[in-house]
Amino acid sequence: MTFNELNLIAPILQALETEGYKVPTPIQEKAIPIVLAQKDLLGCAQTGTGKTAAFAIPILQLLDAQHAEKAPKRIKVLILTPTRELAIQIGESFTAYGRNLKQRYAVIFGGVPQGAQVQALNRGIDILVATPGRLLDLMSQGYIHLNDIGIFVLDEADRMLDMGFIHDVKRVVAKLPQKRQTLFFSATMPPEIQKLANTILVKPEMVAVTPPATTAELVGQSVYFVDKKDKRQLLHYVLNDASITRVLVFTRTKHGADKVVKDLHKVNITAEAIHGNKSQNARQRALTNFKDGRISVLVATDIAARGIDVDMLSHVINYEIPEVPETYVHRIGRTGRAGASGTAMSFCDGEEMADWRNILKVTAQNIPVIENHPYPLAAAGQVKINPPKNKEIVHRPNAVTGGAPRHNGNQRRRW
């Protein structure tokens, strides 16, 4: 299917061409007609599937059609999303897809002074992208009224729950007009989220795409068994691989993230950390530097990395193995976006072995072990990982490092 067949208007088709999008992703193919038909939608999709465009494109088209009728400078669309990073990225998507249209939007989130956000609101906007806390705050100060909202998008509903925002979400929903179109997105559907969906959606159409394990199959995965004390050296070794252009390194803790950055600086590799202890400006700066290629290694904790949207992310490294298997799937989903192949490497030490086994079980995969590296686990002989039965090995030679990284003699790659 092409975007043309989705009955999109010329200014949007042109913008998609500028973006270099050739064909719609599965969620876009399914969701765009539903949204254009002004129906409620329950979308089961995670970041990386193209879900932002799946709602942003038809919303822009609907607004464009209404433009003549509706009063300008009133907020007509509200998108509620859990993190600042996601809010910014959604805003960027509206800029990109709406570049040839007149709709105005603003993005508001906490952790920064409110002045600039209030000014943007006062200039008059059609679309508001917001995190729940700052939205409620500005509503209580009288800067925002939701009386004219015709379309409400709840993005990453399950994350809202994880992050403790569910009550804030309900408070926002209570202020919305009853008559509206609601689009509800969640990667998973725990009972509380199902309940919320039932209360805020009216006769929704359901769209589900790419369950996490399938997304994981797009990514070439491998694991290095290594002693904890050798992970630092192994990271330097792996980063010498010339095919690594932009790598996201995951640690379990903020302290761990800072330590990895410090270690990399010692060997002249440019890296920055993003995590909750950094100011919003510092996080945004690090992300921009990473996107622009000024730094090649971004070190992140799970919360900070949620929804990071960077094109051409070639590699993800799990410097520490997450305790929760779903977190592993989310992490590696940061690469291999929208059909592109990526590589995910995991460094697993003796203490993390139980967590790793659990990941193999939950994802039902047999992830290749890289045996030929200079820092093997001292107790390697005792390590026994039983592959899940009757499962194909998910190993794409073109996407996986496939063995020890290549080295260019003693020449260090410049970052």
Query: Which residues of the shown chain bind ligand AMP in the complex (CB under 6 A)?
Result: 21, 24-25, 28, 47-53, 309, 311, 337-338
DSSP codes, 50-84: SHHHHHHHHHHHHHHHHTTTSPTTS--EEEE-S-H
Closest CB 269 distance from ligand AMP, rounded Å:
25
DSSP 3-state of 382? helix
Closest CB 360 distance from ligand AMP, rounded Å:
26
In angstroms, the CA 284 to CA 85 distance is 8
In angstroms, the CA 412 to CA 414 distance is 6
Would you say 47 or 366 has its CB closer to ligand AMP?
47
Would you say 66 or 245 has its CB closer to ligand AMP?
245
Give me the helices (H) in 201-319, please. Answer: 212-217, 231-239, 254-266, 280-291, 302-305
Contacts of 410 (CB under 8 A, 6+ apart): none
Closest CB 337 distance from ligand AMP, rounded Å:
5
Contacts of 166 (CB under 8 A, 6+ apart): 160, 192, 196
Would you say 338 or 380 has its CB closer to ligand AMP?
338
Question: What sign has the CA pseudo-torsion 98, 103, 109, 114?
Answer: positive
**Residue in this structure with the two tokens 């399938």, named with its chain if needed:** 214
Closest CB 324 distance from ligand AMP, rounded Å:
21
Residue 386 DSSP label? P
> Which of 411, 377, 403, 398 is CA-nearest to residue 240?
411
Would you say 51 or 231 has its CB closer to ligand AMP?
51
Closest CB 44 distance from ligand AMP, rounded Å:
13
Would you say 77 or 269 has its CB closer to ligand AMP?
77
Contacts of 152 (CB under 8 A, 6+ apart): 77, 78, 80, 173, 176, 180, 181, 182, 183, 200
Would you say 20 or 381 has its CB closer to ligand AMP?
20
- Which residues partner with 142 through β-bridges? none
Contacts of 324 (CB under 8 A, 6+ apart): none
In angstroms, the CA 86 to CA 132 distance is 12
Residue 369 DSSP label? B
Would you say 309 or 349 has its CB closer to ligand AMP?
309
Closest CB 271 distance from ligand AMP, rounded Å:
22
Would you say 311 or 371 has its CB closer to ligand AMP?
311
Closest CB 279 distance from ligand AMP, rounded Å:
24
Beta strands 271-274 and 247-250, pairing class: unpaired
Would you say 114 or 188 has its CB closer to ligand AMP?
188
Closest CB 366 distance from ligand AMP, rounded Å:
27
Contact 146, 78 (CB under 8 A): yes
Instruction: Give, for 298, the enclosing helix (H) or strand (E).
Output: strand 297-300
Closest CB 21 distance from ligand AMP, rounded Å:
4
Would you say 163 or 383 has its CB closer to ligand AMP?
163
Closest CB 3 distance from ligand AMP, rounded Å:
8
